[in-house]
Amino acid sequence: MAVYVDAPIWHFVGRRWCHLMADEEEELHRFAARLGLKRSSYQGPPKTSAAHYDITGFERDRAVRLGAVECSREEIVAIFRRVRVPGRAFRKAA
């Protein structure tokens, strides 16, 4: 089992953000706690189809030092598809 992080390419409120994901949800929460993330930062079902945390580039650097596996955008999408909860795809509001 592993924890994964992609590149910080998403711009929001003056910072660059990326995704922190794991093979197992509990593993993700344990790693996030080690990283010092608040549980309220968690994003997962039922609001999203895959468990993850959005983290800043600064937090990403620390996550890598703690053992997170660096991934490309394509690799993190593959992980997202592998760990997502079936039937929880995003639905656009009518």
What DSSP string describes 6-61? Answer: ----EEETTEEEEEEEESSHHHHHHHHHHHT--GGGEE-TTTSSS-EEEEEHHHHH
Q: Within a domain: residue 9? A: yes
How do beta strands 15-22 and 10-12 pair? antiparallel
Residue-wise pLDDT tens digits, 5-56: 999 888 888 889 999 999 999 999 999 999 999 999 999 888 888 999 999 9
Predicted pLDDT of residue 10: 81
Q: Within a domain: residue 80? A: no
Predicted pLDDT of residue 46: 81
Q: How many domains does the chain have?
A: 1
Q: Within a domain: residue 55? A: yes
Q: Within a domain: residue 84? A: no
Range of the domain at 24: 3-72
Q: Within a domain: residue 92? A: no
Q: Within a domain: residue 94? A: no
Q: Within a domain: residue 81? A: no
Is pLDDT above 50 for 94? Answer: no
